[in-house]
Each structure stands twice: as C-alpha cells, then as structure tokens.
Chains A and B, each alone.
Chain A
Amino acid sequence: MVEKDQNVNEELVTEKVLTRRPFSIPLKNYSKKTSKRLGIFFKHKIPYAESELKSWVRSFRGGIILLCLFLVTLIPLLLNSIVYFHVFIIAMVYAIYAASWDLLSGVTGQVSFGHAAFFGLGGYMCAAFVKFLGFHWFPSIIIGGALGVLFGLIIAIPSLRLKGPYLALGSLAFSLLMWRLFSMESLRFLFFGSEGIRNVAFLQSLTLREKLITEFILALIIMIVCITIMLVVYNSKLGTIFKGIRDDEYATEAAGINVTRYKLLAFCISAFFAGIAGSIYMLHRGNVKPDIFMSLYSFYPIIMVVVGGISTISGAAFGAYFFYVLNEIITQLCSDFLPSNLQLIFSNIATLFFAIILLVVVRFTERGLMEPAIKRSKDLWDLLRGK
C-alpha cells in the first residue's frame, strides 16, 4: 500500500470522490434477474431516445432522412399507379431486411452471408400460420419473425459463441440447408416442397387498388416502426456495446462484457426483423417458394448496406430503395427495349452489374456511398446558408 505522505499529484485527487472504490458491492447484487437484464434494454434506451429525438430531427442527417421518408410516401400516392405501389412496397421490405443485416453484420461485426435463411423462414412461418392455422396476418408477421429467430438460433448459438468468422460460414451453410430442405419433394409433408405455400389469403375482400394502397400504408408503418427501433438500439448503450464488439471482441470481453450473450442478442434482433420483412414480402406476393432461400436473397442486403453505408442502419434503408428502384427501372427499360431473347438473361446481367458495383464499392470505400454524399450535401447546405 502506498504510504500516505508520498508525493501524490493533487490534480488527480479532485475527482477521487466518485471514482473511489466504495462500498465494495457484494457479489450477490449481480444476480441474473430478468428485470436487470431487460434493464440494459430499457433503462438506457428510452430516456436517451426521448431527449435525443428533438435534436436529431433538427440535425441535417435527420432532416434528410425525414425528407426522403416524406417523398417515398408521397410519390406513389401522388402518381397513383399500381406499379409504383408495388415497387415501393417491396423496397420497404428490403429496407427492413437490409437494416436488419446491417445491425448484425455492420454494427456488431458478425457478418452473415445467409441472411436469406431468416428472411425466408419468416415468410414460410407466417404463411403457414395464416393459411393453415387461420391466424390473422398481424400476429402471424410477429410469429414469423419470432420463429425465424428460434430456428436461426440453431446455427447462431454454435457460431457466435466462438470468436472468429464462424457465423459467416454457418449462415451460408444454414441458408443453403434451408434451400435444400424446403425444395425436397420427399419432405413435402414438413417443408412444403418445391411449390412452397401458395394462395395465402391477405386482404382478399378489397379491390386490387385498395389492397395495394392498404399494403403500402401497412408496410410504411411497419417499416417506420422497425427501423426506428433499430435506430434507437443503434444509438443506445446497447448499440455502443455492439459497436465495441465489432471493433475488438477480445477487448470488449476484457472490459467485462459477456460478448457471446450480446452477439446472440444482436442476432435475435436482426433475425427477428429479417423475418418480419420476409413475412410482409410473402403477404404481398401471396405465396412463398424455396427460391427465397437462394444466395441472391442473401446478396441483396449486403449490396444495399454496403452502398448505403455499412453500420449506419439508415444507410441500409437508402441503399435498399436505391437498389430496388434502380433494379425495377432497369427491368422496365429492358422489357420495353430489349428483344425477347435477351430479356431472359437480363436479370442475370443486372445481378452481374450489381455484383460488380458491390465489388467496387467495398474495394474503394470505407463507408459506402451515402455517407460521403450526405456529408457533401451538408457542406453544400452549410455553404448556402452562409456558414
């Protein structure tokens, strides 16, 4: 023990009061009561959100996001064309899906190359509950998400309790396994076979236009809720822990965080929202087929997030809209202008093109395209305002 009359720097002593090890907290306070566990989620998250909300809205970034949200709500309603509703509904589905991937892979650093598994499982579970068990669609969406998480844990728990790129391997294997299992005719009784689940009734009593508008509004509301939740998590202390895990798993563990538990938490949130996105997708299309597990659907969130800005959540939504709308525009142009024999391979050319974009963006940028774009816009805005 250092003797008291040794030369102790006075400056450092000022804050002594609060940093002094006190009343040695007895270990029994660390019991794992559920309320204390949920405490991390609620205690720090909600107060933070309330006070930050106002300033966020006023910030440039918040303003841009809200503006875009306003536009994407308005455009289809104004144009009032069925095609636009259809496109924007699916874009919203991808926004939720991409944001969910970003939360796990970008923010927490656990890259998943088989996110389609949770997307598809959500769709299948929701379809099964709606069609075969007669549930109302709303709880079915939630159940779709929840069951996607449950089955996803089969691969998540073994992968995440290890430190290293195991989830990347495991998720890829899991999604391929899902694709195989759900395509197998021999397992039709359990996995519905290559036909999937068809004719899922959703808002059947409405006309096509009414149905689309309703779907659009529902998807919009669900998307706003989901992404808001993810943004709140991102900005909360929980998000800080996730980002710490991404930066250095070992250092975060050394700081006392149970890294495995938090990785699993990130996974559960991510898979849940991916499942919800899959459920909405299924409800919109009215059916779900095994091809939803193909690697293409795992590719989509990756390119959307990478372009939109990895580890930003809102960037995922931007990227999703950007890509999906771009995809649709190109498809439309091609079906208008290309001869029919080329159209068949068109979708492959488009995907090829997107793969090249992904390659280039990952190779040359750290933060995706949206972040620099927003920064440039902000600088311009400040310039215009005369700063």
Chain B
Amino acid sequence: MGVILQIKNLTKRFGGLTAVNDVSFEINRGSLVGLIGPNGAGKTTLFNLISGFEKSNTGSIMFDGVNVTRFSTHKRVKYGITRTFQIVRPLHRLTCLDNVIVGCMSPRGKARSEDIGVDKLASTILASVGLIDKARIPPIILPFGDLKKLEIARALASNPELLLLDEPFSGLSHEEQMIIIELIKQLNYEGYTIIIAGHVLRELMALVPRVLVMNQGKLIADGPPKEVVNIKTVIEAYLGRGGN
C-alpha cells in the first residue's frame, strides 16, 4: 500500500493569525481518515492547502512521491487530489449532468472516459451517487442533501486518488447523513483514499478507523477514535455535539 500523502511542517499564516501551525502527518493509500476539531481549528484551511486553494508559508506536501507544494489547484487534480466544499458550490446554471461533465473534462476524467464517452461516464457517476433521475435538472431546486451528493459526484468525475470531503454531513437530516456515509464506505471500499473533515462526531467516529484532531491550527491527536476521545487535550478542545 504505502504512503500516498505526506504533510510536513505545513504552516499558513494570514496576517497575524496562524491558521495552520506546523502540521505533519502521513496518509496511507486507500485509508479512510477523519479530521475533526472545533470551529476555526484550521480544518478547511488545511484542506485548502492540500488541494491548492491556498499556498503554504512553509512546509511541504508530497503526494504519491511528487512534491505538489507549489502546484496550482487544477494541476493537483491532475495528480489525483480533489476536494469538496463545505458550503456547496454547484455550477448553478448547468444541469446536474453538466456539473459532472465539467469534472469529466479534466485530464484524468477525459482519459477515463476514452472508451465509454464523457456522457456515459458522467451518467454513471451520477447514478452511483443516486442522482441519475435529476440529471437534467439544474442544482438550484435540489434539496441540500442532493447538492452534497453532487459535490462528491463532481469530485469523482476527475478520477481522483484522494478525496478531501469538507464537512459532507453538516446541515443534513439523519437519513441523508446515513446515505452519504454509505456512499463514503463504498468509495473507500473501491479504493479511494478519503479524508473527511467534520463535526458530527458520533457517526464520523463510528465510520473512520483513524482520526486526526486539530485545534487552533495545531495537530493535537492522531489515532483510532476510541483512543483519541480519551486524550485530555482533545477533551479540553471543544468537541461539539455527541462527543463520547
């Protein structure tokens, strides 16, 4: 298996605020990892750094043996890193199918679609997240849960290795959360490496075998959920609803 993502001493400062402070960790290929922490801990910034939306001040990001620290976002997608957004960003004037097609038009997506065609690939991805009946509908009128699924579908369209899911459960009803969790389980089963940033701890802790905990920009814990919740510093940091 081996290490697919290697973060070393990653730091990001915004003026006086250090959002990510000397964070280091490794992720193995095919693993499913949670990233938790109170609001403002730096989870989204960390995702921005890994996916290329922000450039770090210091530190390095090695992906699959390649130093991607200075790469632009789309270049990182080309190497296999994609992310979803906490506040969903659908392409609002396109149909759902077109949203996924945009992802399929990325270099990896196109290569993947060479034998079956972009339309078929996009349809299949939509079907796998359960949105196929909404293919010709623009996202504006969809319920929130479907928009979250569309985010994931669009990320899948570029045939990634690593999926960074930023709060995929937040704002969803319990049933919708279970659907997303099933989807994530299945994706991981098929071999995608997934990092989930989140808050809703009960379901997340039950889902992932390993969890990273951030607080105020620092990584304060790294291990199986059952151990992590008992660490003093983690308890002291605000854990959010449904802690233990």
Q: Judging by beta carbons under 8 Å apart, are B98 and A243 in contact? A: yes
A79 interfacial contact with B, CB 8 Å:
no
Q: Which residues from 251 to 267 on chain A have a C-beta closer than 8 Å to any C-beta of chain B?
A: 251-259
A38 interfacial contact with B, CB 8 Å:
no
**In the complex with contacts A248-B89, A256-B82, A241-B105 CB distance below 8 A:** yes
Q: Judging by beta carbons under 8 Å apart, are A1 and B30 in contact? A: yes
B79 interfacial contact with A, CB 8 Å:
yes
A16 interfacial contact with B, CB 8 Å:
yes
A18 interfacial contact with B, CB 8 Å:
yes
Most buried by A among B73, B99, B105, B127: B105
Residues of B within 8 A of A29 (CB): 111
Most buried by A among B102, B107, B127, B128: B102
Q: Judging by beta carbons under 8 Å apart, are B91 and A243 in contact? A: yes
Among B35-43, B186-194, B195-203, B215-223, the one that faces the other chain is: B186-194
Residues of B within 8 A of A240 (CB): 94, 98, 101-102, 105
Interface string of B89-132 (1 = CB under 8 A from A): 11111100011011101111111100010101100110110100
A13 interfacial contact with B, CB 8 Å:
yes
Q: How far is the CB of B92 from chain A (nearest CB, A)?
A: 5
**Contact count A vs B, C-beta below 8 Å:** 143
Q: Complex: how many Å from CA A44 to CA B189?
A: 33
Pick the contact of B90 from A25, A30, A251, A258 — CB < 8 Å? A251
A27 interfacial contact with B, CB 8 Å:
yes
Q: Complex: how many Å from CA A7 to CA B179?
A: 12
Secondary structure type dominating chain B contacts: helix
Q: Complex: how many Å from CA A29 to CA B156?
A: 19
Q: Judging by beta carbons under 8 Å apart, are A256 and B107 in contact? A: yes
B167 interfacial contact with A, CB 8 Å:
no
A336 interfacial contact with B, CB 8 Å:
no
Q: Judging by beta carbons under 8 Å apart, are A252 and B91 in contact? A: yes
**In the complex with contacts A25-B112, A241-B102, A247-B91 CB distance below 8 A:** yes
Interface string of A159-196 (1 = CB under 8 A from B): 00000000000000000000000000000000000000
Q: How far is the CB of B128 from chain A (nearest CB, A)?
A: 5
B211 interfacial contact with A, CB 8 Å:
no
Residue of A nearest to B103 (CB): A255
Q: Complex: how many Å from CA A27 to CA B68?
A: 14
Interface size, chain A (Cβ < 8 Å):
44
Residues of B within 8 A of A250 (CB): 53, 89
Q: Complex: how many Å from CA A123 to CA B134?
A: 48
Q: Judging by beta carbons under 8 Å apart, are B124 and A259 in contact? A: no
Q: How far is the CB of B111 from chain A (nearest CB, A)?
A: 5
**In the complex with contacts A2-B32, A2-B188, A240-B94, A256-B106 CB distance below 8 A:** yes
Among B6-14, B157-165, B230-238, the one that faces the other chain is: B157-165
Pick the contact of A13 from B77, B79, B186 — CB < 8 Å? B186
A246 interfacial contact with B, CB 8 Å:
yes
Q: How far is the CB of A234 from chain B (nearest CB, A)?
A: 13
**In the complex with contacts A24-B161, A252-B102, A247-B82 CB distance below 8 A:** no
Q: How far is the CB of B148 from chain A (nearest CB, A)?
A: 14
Q: Complex: how many Å from CA A299 to CA B88?
A: 36
Q: Judging by beta carbons under 8 Å apart, are B111 and A243 in contact? A: no
Residues of B within 8 A of A22 (CB): 112
Q: How far is the CB of B224 from chain A (nearest CB, A)?
A: 14
Pick the contact of A15 from B101, B116, B118, B124 — CB < 8 Å? B124
Given contacts A2-B32, A252-B102, A256-B78, 20 further A-B contacts (CB under 8 A): A1-B209, A2-B188, A8-B182, A8-B185, A12-B182, A18-B120, A18-B121, A19-B124, A24-B161, A25-B108, A237-B105, A240-B98, A247-B93, A248-B90, A250-B89, A255-B154, A256-B74, A256-B105, A256-B108, A256-B109
17 A-B pairs with CB atoms under 8 Å apart are A1-B188, A2-B32, A11-B130, A12-B183, A19-B125, A21-B161, A30-B107, A30-B108, A39-B110, A237-B105, A240-B105, A243-B94, A248-B89, A248-B92, A252-B91, A255-B157, A256-B77
Closest 6 CB pairs of A and B: A256-B106, A256-B77, A256-B158, A251-B89, A247-B91, A255-B103
